[in-house]
Amino acid sequence: MRLSDNIKCSLVSWITKISIWKFFLLLLAVSFVIFLVQSVLPVFSDSHDLHRLAGEELALNGRGKIPSCVSCHGLQGQGDAKIASPRLAGLHPSYIKKQLEDYARDPLKTRAFVEPIARDYVKTPRTYGDLTVFTPGTRYDPKMNGLAKLLSAEDRHNLAIYYSKLAFVASPKAYDFETLERGEDLALRGKPEYGLPSCDSCHGPGGQGFGAIFPPLAGQPVTYIIAQINKWQAGKRDNDHLALMRNIADQLTDGDKVNVAAYYDNLSYSVNSE
């Protein structure tokens, strides 16, 4: 008889030796202990909630040189259309964190490059100028660049957790029929004859966002959406994955921006709310 068989035999004999009631009692005791441990553990280490509270403190009151976020982004993180400040409530935490990192990154340290060859602008409705400077992985904003450099990595994490938990309900606004119809056509079908994909094919149905990479368009102020597309065309924002958005922004005309932003402003949308 081999050693493995011996071990098997001893196990079988042990199980048959103890009575079936004892076996069940043992199982019950083990499961009860596991249940206790599981229910007690979160009390000692609810780090998620701690991050959220720290983020809330920083967002509402600021710290030292860091001003409070609510002065521009609103008390509920709903954004401000007047100064083109985006909604932060309910965005994906990884997305918020990445944007803060890109704001803080020094454009001089990235491998900036100039597009040297002028394209044929007569043929396609492209709007940005020649010799655009692209700085991959950075996002330019006069206010946020200085501000994000003051934040530590932990601050960014805390703020991301706090804002991703906030509830938001959009209030749809009225626009004229023609604007909405054109906006809808662009949002759902894009411009296939120019090779431009639809917005919803990445930003999710109804522009509700998809995952950590594709942010929601619904519920964002119109001015913010238009300002961001302008920044992409000017090379001031170049932090998208695979240059997806840069390629698309190149092909949008001024009318397209207004129409599609109006379409998403007209949609009803809510996040984190019952």
Partner 1 sequence: MKRILLKWVFIFSFYHVAVLPVAAQELGQTLDSLEVRPSLVNSRLSLPTQLTQVHVISPGEYFAPPLVADIPDDRFGDMVRMGRNIFIKTGVYAKRYAGNGLNCSSCHLQEGRKPHGIPLWAAYGRYPMYRHKTRTVVTLEERIQDCFIYSMNGIAPTLDAPEMKALVTYTKWLSKGAPVGVDLPGRGLPNISRTQDLDPKRGKIVYETRCELCHGKDGKGQKHTNGEGYMFPPLWGRDSYNKGSGLQRVRTLAKFIKGNMPLGASFSLTNQESLDVAIYIWLQDRPRNPKMSQAMDFFFPNMAR
Contacting residues toward partner 1, per CB under 8 A: 111, 113, 117, 119-120, 123-124, 134, 136-137, 181, 184-185, 188-190, 192-198, 201-202, 204-205, 208, 210-211, 213, 239-244, 247-248
Token pair recorded at residue 242: 């695979």
Rounded least distance, CB 154 to partner 1, Å: 21
Min dist. Cβ of residue 2 to partner 1 (A): 33
Query: Cβ 126 to partner 1, closest distance in Å?
Result: 9
Cβ proximity to partner 1, 32 vs 113, nearer residue: 113
Is 111 in a helix, a strand, or coil? coil
> Among candidates 243, 220, 221, which has minimal Cα distance to 232?
243
Distance CA 11, CA 50 (A): 47
Closest CB 18 distance from partner 1, rounded Å: 44
Using CA atoms, how far residue 220 sits from 123, 160, 165, 204, 260, in Å, is 32, 17, 17, 14, 12
- As measured in angstroms, the least distance from the Cβ of 97 to partner 1 is 12
Query: Between 47-61 and 153-165, two packed helices, what is the crossing angle to 10 degrees?
Result: 90
Least spacing, CB of residue 184 vs partner 1, in Å? 8
Half-sphere exposure of 271 (CA within 13 A, CB side): 25
Over the Cα atoms of the chain, what is R_g? 27
The residue to which tokens 């709310």 are assigned: 273
Q: Which is nearer to partner 1, 74 or 137 (CB)?
A: 137
In contact, 90 and 166? CB cutoff 8 Å = yes
Q: How far is the CB of 124 from partner 1 (least distance, A)?
A: 6
Residue with smaller CB distance to partner 1, 73 or 98: 98
- Round to whole Å and give the CA distance between 249 and 260: 12
Considering the complex, state which of residue 161 and residue 202 has its C-beta at the smaller distance from partner 1: 202
Query: In this structure, which long-range contacts are made by residues 20-27, counting pairs with CB atoms below 8 Å and at least 24 apart in sequence?
Result: none
Q: In the complex with partner 1, which residue's Cβ is closer, 46 or 181? A: 181
Which CB atom, from 154 or from 181, has the smaller least distance to partner 1?
Answer: 181
Is the CB of 155 or the CB of 191 nearer to partner 1?
A: 191
CB of 241 vs partner 1, minimal distance in Å: 6
| 90 vs 92: CA distance, rounded Å | 6
Name residue 139's beta-bridge partners.
237
Diameter over CA atoms, the chain: 90
Entry field: residues in the chain:
274
- Of 50 and 243, which has the nearer Cβ to partner 1? 243
